[in-house]
Amino acid sequence: VVGDSVVQAGSLVRADSLRFDFTARALSAEQLARIASLVNSAATESMPVYVSHMTLAQAQAKGALSVRAERQCATNVRVVAIGAESVELCGGTHLHATRAVFPFQIVAESSVGAGTRRIEAVAGDAAVVWMQQQLAHARAAAAVLGAPSLDTLEPRARLIDAKAKAARDEADRWLSVAASHVADSATLETTLGPTPTCIHVLPSSIDGAAARLVAQRAACLCSAEPKCAHVVICAHCVALSVDPAAIPGAHAGKLLHLLFAKLPGKGGGQDVLAQGRLDAPVNDLPPCVASLACAFK
């Protein structure tokens, strides 16, 4: 399923779960399903599990595999064989027959390090419990999404997701319109380092969309007037946009940190746009605007 180059990198077997580490790239959903199918097929055959002891040379002659063969005692090793499917060196305990691991279900596949993947799974009674839980979750989701049956759950979820995406796109369009038309309550021309900068204070009456609006507004102003950096502030929210092509060497993230030296806050960003949150709000009331001007003298 995965290829001949895969090497086991560790494992853990418990009464209610197991994990298996191996060297490979991320597995696809189809590969995971194929692995689970092969394990379940072997389990339903109820193949006996044989345990024997022999020298390492004898075990290797039988084709036994090992995670760390070089660390095995050469005089006596434990060999576990499952029919003709698997012969391995292993010091752990095992079942009497493969039937005990039916059903087998992979519940997760993830990265645990560079080039190493991990499969987590449940089997036997634990797998039955897990599947019952998943069925309960699916029924609850169907009820919330208004799907009349589990067969219609996925298409119903896709429909709702499509409608939500359309609503988000529409909101973004209106946000762009608002960002290009909102009027500044106050402006201040200054510099951040050597970069000419214009600070724009938006009306404090703007609602919870402020964080997204200030970013859109900063981008709009920078596009219209690229010869300076633009800072847009609304209460605690701040965004800074700059065009490095128009101002060589300018970097929005670095300029935002220069701003925080005057107006304490936290945030960051890339070369074109940076965002953050001020410790103290800045509003459009005259005393606050006057204090802002003093800070940048």
108-143 pLDDT per residue, tens: 999 988 889 999 999 999 999 999 999 999 999 999
Q: In Å, what is the CA distance from 282 to each residue of 180, 265, 294? A: 21, 12, 13
Measured in residues, the chain has a length of 297
Give the span between the Cα atoms of 287 and 297, in whole angstroms.
16
**What is the per-residue pLDDT across 187-199, written as a single tens digit (0 to 9) for each?**
889 999 999 999 9
Please indicate whether residue 149 or residue 3 has the higher confidence score (pLDDT): 149
Q: In Å, what is the CA distance from 253 to each residue of 116, 169, 295? A: 35, 27, 20
Q: At residue 183, does pLDDT exceed 60?
A: yes
Q: How far is CA 2 from the centre of its chain?
A: 24
Give the span between the Cα atoms of 6 and 25, in whole angstroms.
9
Give the angle subtended at the CA of 282 by the CAs of 215 and 260, to the nearest 5°: 70
pLDDT band, residue 207 (cuts 50/70/90): low
Helical segments of the chain, H only: 29-44, 56-61, 125-145, 153-181, 210-224, 252-262, 286-295
pLDDT band, residue 203 (cuts 50/70/90): confident
The pTM assigned to this predicted structure is 0.59
Q: How much is the mean pLDDT over the chain? A: 86
Percentage of residues in the chain having pLDDT higher than 70: 91
50: enclosing H helix or E strand:
strand 49-54
Please indicate whether residue 27 or residue 57 has the higher confidence score (pLDDT): 27
Q: At residue 164, does pLDDT exceed 80?
A: yes
Identity at 45, one-letter amino acid code = E
Q: How far apart are the two ends of the chain, measured CA to CA in Å?
A: 68
pLDDT band, residue 80 (cuts 50/70/90): confident
Q: What is the largest CA-CA distance in the chain?
A: 90
- Find out whether 109 and 27 touch, Cβ atoms under 8 Å: yes
Please indicate whether residue 174 or residue 199 has the higher confidence score (pLDDT): 199
Which whole number is the average pLDDT over 173-194? 83
Q: What phi, psi does 203 have (nearest 5°)? A: -55, 140
pLDDT (0 to 100) of residue 3: 73
